[in-house]
Amino acid sequence: MRSYTKILALLVVASTFTYCRTPQYSLQQEKINYKVDNSIAEDTAIVNYYIPFKHKLENEMNRVIGYTEYSLTRSRSQVETSAGNFFTDALLEIGKLQDPNAQVALATKGGIRADIKQGNVTVGNVFELMPFENAVTILEISGEDMNTLLHFIAKTEGQPVSGLKMDIKAGKPINVFIANQPFDIDKTYKLVTYDYLANGGDYMEGLNNPIKRTDTGIIVRKGLIDYIEKLTKEGKTINTQIDGRIKVIK
C-alpha cells in the first residue's frame, strides 16, 4: 500500500511540473509568391482617379517653351560641351537677376543629366536635363578660393562655366579671364552655382569658405524654364555652341 502511495505521489509531482512548464512555440514563415501580370484586373476606381492627373502632367511635360538651333550635348570626357555652356549661361543670367554683380557661373559635368535635341524644347526636356531639386546659390569668394576652384577645374579637365575663360596646361590653369578681366588673386568674385555644389557636392573645391552666401530658394529647373520662356517672348532661340571658353593646351 505504501508503494502504491509513493508512486501516486510521484505521478502527481511529475504532472505538476509538466503542466506548469511554459509552452515552447516556434514561428515558421511561409513564402507566398504573387504573380503580377496582365492576369490581374486593374482597379478601375484607382485608374479613374489618377488619369486626370496623368493627362495634366503629360500636357505640361510636352508643353513647348522654346527652340534650340543646335543639339545641346553633354560629355564627361570633353573639356567643354554645348549643354554645359547653355546650362551655365542660363545659370549666370538667373543669378544676375538676384545680384547684378554676379560674374561667373559654375556647374559640373555630372550634374547635367540629358541632351536636348535640335528643335522644340519642352518642359520635359528641362526636367530631364536637371532632374534634381537643387536651388540657385550665389557665393562671394576670395581670390585665393577662386584660385583653388580654377585648379579644381583644371585638374578635372574642365567643368561647365560661364563668364570664365581659361586654358589648361599640364593640369594647371593659365590665361584666366573672369568677366573679361584677367584673374586677380587679390580681388573677390561673385559666383552663381547651386546649393549641392556650394555644400561640397561632386568633391568641389574652393567653395566651402565663402565671404558671403546667398541661397535664393530658386529651383534651378524652374529658373531654366523661365529663362527659355523669356528668350521665346523676346523672339530669340537657343543658339549655344562650343566657343572655346575652356581649352587644353599641349
The model's pLDDT over 3-17, given as tens digits with 9 standing for 90+, comes to: 444 444 444 444 444
Please check whether residue 150 is in contact with residue 72, taking contact to mean a CB–CB distance below 8 angstroms: no
Which pLDDT band holds residue 49 (cuts at 50, 70, 90)? low
Cβ neighbours of residue 114 closer than 8 Å, sequence gap 6 or more: 74, 125, 128, 129
pLDDT score of 69 more than 60 = yes
CB crowding 123-147: b at 16 or more within 10 Å, else e: bbbbbebbeeebbbbbbbbbeebbb
Within a 10 A sphere around the Cβ of 247, how many other Cβ atoms? 14
The half-sphere exposure of 137 on its side-chain side, counting CA atoms within 13 A, is 22
Please check whether residue 207 is in contact with residue 198, taking contact to mean a CB–CB distance below 8 angstroms: yes
Please check whether residue 201 is in contact with residue 135, taking contact to mean a CB–CB distance below 8 angstroms: no
Round to the nearest angstrom and report the end-to-end CA distance of the chain: 115
* C-alpha separations of 144 from 49, 172, 200 in Å: 57, 15, 17
Within a 10 A sphere around the Cβ of 151, how many other Cβ atoms? 16
Phi-psi region of 70 (alpha: psi -120 to 50; beta: other; left: phi over 0): beta
Superfamily of domain 66-248: 5'-Nucleotidase, C-terminal domain (3.90.780.10)
Mean pLDDT computed over every residue of the chain: 89
Query: CA torsion, points 123, 128, 129, 131, in degrees to nearest 10?
Result: 100
Give the integer Cα–Cα distance in Å for 181 and 64. Answer: 38
Per-domain boundaries in the chain: 66-248
The model's pLDDT over 91-134, given as tens digits with 9 standing for 90+, comes to: 999 999 999 999 999 999 999 999 999 999 999 999 999 999 99
